[in-house]
Every structure is written in structure tokens, then in C-alpha cells.
Amino acid sequence: MGMSIRQFLEFTVISIISVLIHGINGQTNRWINGHATFYGVNQDPSTFGGACGYDNPYHAGFGAHTTALSAALFRNGEACGACYQVRCNYRVAPKWCLPTRAFVTVTATNFCPPNGNGGWCDSPRHHFDMSLPAFLRIARQANEGVVPVLYRRVGCRRRGGVRFTLKGQSNFNMVMISNVGGSGDIKSAWMRGSGTRTWVPMIRNWGANWSTRFDIRSQTLSFRVTLTSGKTMAFYNVVPSSWKFGQTFASRNQF
């Protein structure tokens, strides 16, 4: 027996309220207090990489607006690829914030290590060590580069499909997964070679790099990815059997 119009409307309203309350990955859409610094004053933005393993964030699909996260946010690498809106807290620090009160969307690509001595990246602080191009979208380069901010999780918008970079050597296989839309951060991944009939679970080696103990050389490769938001997508035959270590292959699909 189907839903009545009233039941359908009630279900729709409840669903919308749930999204507004829980936001991305179970996190609320409300703005949360944190702090931000910047790095890379004299560094080419195309070289911003780090603990997630994105050798070049431009090639990974993220551009210059990237950030390192404190331990409280990094989640041992699970946060790699996640997107955040960050804005300077104008009410707290009007002289350091830009008067436009704009926000910038940044992608997590690195880890800001704690110093164990009350530093900005020590737990439980929520801290963003942002690329200078991103930082200058919301604040002035002043106050030794530290500004109070407000942030929230948002979905990631990516151009093109999800990308798979083959790393490793010999029979050690590692795949970096990048340019991921949706919630952006990956919970689990599987691989299937043309010589395998079943999906083989991969393990997070570090950051955005996933590995498997099976020898997959000379096989056409498919992948299945589940985001922390719970959404799962399969990418069939995205890597041809002629692949070589170091190559990147883009799928046609996106979250």
C-alpha cells in the first residue's frame, strides 16, 4: 500500500530537516569555532602536498585552496579530500578579517602535526593551516598569521571524474584516489582485476593511498568506493591492462 500525499509530504519535510541538522557525514551545518594560519609564502601552490599523499593538488583536482588539519579534524587520514567552508570570525577579530566577510572552500590535503605543548594543532583544537591563496580570501596577512575562524563541512564539487593513480612497484600495489566529489572523504575501497571475479577489499595505507596484497599487474582494474557519507559508487574497467606505475586514470563517473 503506497504513501498518502500527506504521508509523503511529512516524510519529505522530515528528510529535509534531517539533512539540515546532520549535514555532511553526520556533522551539523552550523558554523563551528576554530582558528587558521597559513603556509607556503614563497612556495609554488602547485607543490602543496603532504600527509594525504597528493603529490600535486592541481593534478589531484583540488587547485590552490587546500589546507592541513589539526589532529582533531584529520581523523588519521580519513579526512583527506574533505571540503570545508571557512570564514574569518569578523565579530571577534574585525581588524584581521577582510571587510567583505567572504568564505573560502578548502580541501583537506595535509596534516598539521601537534607539538604537544599547547600548539594550534594540538588536540582538541580545531585548526586549519591553509595555503596562502586560500587564507588571503578571508583575512589579512597579520597577527602572525593566526586568525579566529568559523567553519562547516560542505560537499565537494569536482570537475571530471574520480581519479586513480597507480603507485608502488613490482607486486606491491598502491592506488591514490583523488578528485572525489560528494563528501570527498573515503571510508572504504575495493578493487577487482579482470582476473578476479570478486571485489577485494583494500586497506588505507596512508592518507588517500589504498593498497592490496594481490598481484594485479597486466589486469584491467575496476574500483568500488564508499564515502564517509555512506554513498557507494563502482568504477568499472577504469584502468586498462596496459597500465604502468605512476599513471593516472580518470573515470567518467563522479559522486
**Are 108 and 63 found together in one domain?**
yes
**Are 55 and 136 found together in one domain?**
yes
Q: How many residues does the chain have?
A: 255
Distance between CA atoms of residues 149 and 32, nearest Å: 8
Q: How far is CA 93 from the centre of its chain?
A: 28
Distance between CA atoms of residues 54 and 208, nearest Å: 7
Query: How far apart, in Å, are the Cα atoms of 35 and each of 137, 142, 242?
Result: 15, 14, 47
Cβ neighbours of 230 (radius 10 Å): 11
Containing 127, the helix (H) or strand (E) segment is: strand 127-131
**pLDDT tens digit sequence for 20-73:** 444 565 555 799 999 999 987 766 666 566 899 998 888 888 999 999 999 999
**Are 176 and 145 found together in one domain?**
no
How large is the average pLDDT for residues 85-98? 94
> CATH number of the domain that 222 lies in?
2.60.40.760
Q: How far is CA 111 from the centre of its chain?
A: 12
**Are 220 and 140 found together in one domain?**
no
Q: Which residue would you say has higher pLDDT here, 10 or 69?
A: 69
- Cis upstream peptide for 124 (omega within 30°): yes
Query: How far apart, in Å, are the Cα atoms of 182 and each of 95, 148, 177, 188?
Result: 35, 27, 14, 14
Percent of the chain with pLDDT over 90: 72
Torsion, CA 181, CA 183, CA 186, CA 192, rounded to 10: -50
**Are 221 and 176 found together in one domain?**
yes
> CATH number of the domain that 127 lies in?
2.40.40.10
Establish if 8 belongs to a structural domain: no
**pLDDT tens digit sequence for 110-168:** 999 999 999 999 999 999 999 999 999 999 876 568 999 999 999 999 999 999 999 98
For residue 85, what is its C-alpha cell? 567552508
**Are 120 and 220 found together in one domain?**
no
pTM check: above 0.75: yes
**Are 136 and 240 found together in one domain?**
no
**Are 38 and 148 found together in one domain?**
yes
**Are 35 and 146 found together in one domain?**
yes
**Number of domains into which the chain is organized:** 2
Comparing C-alpha atoms, which of 240, 190, 229, 232 is closest to residue 211? 190
For residue 105, what are the domain limits? 28-154
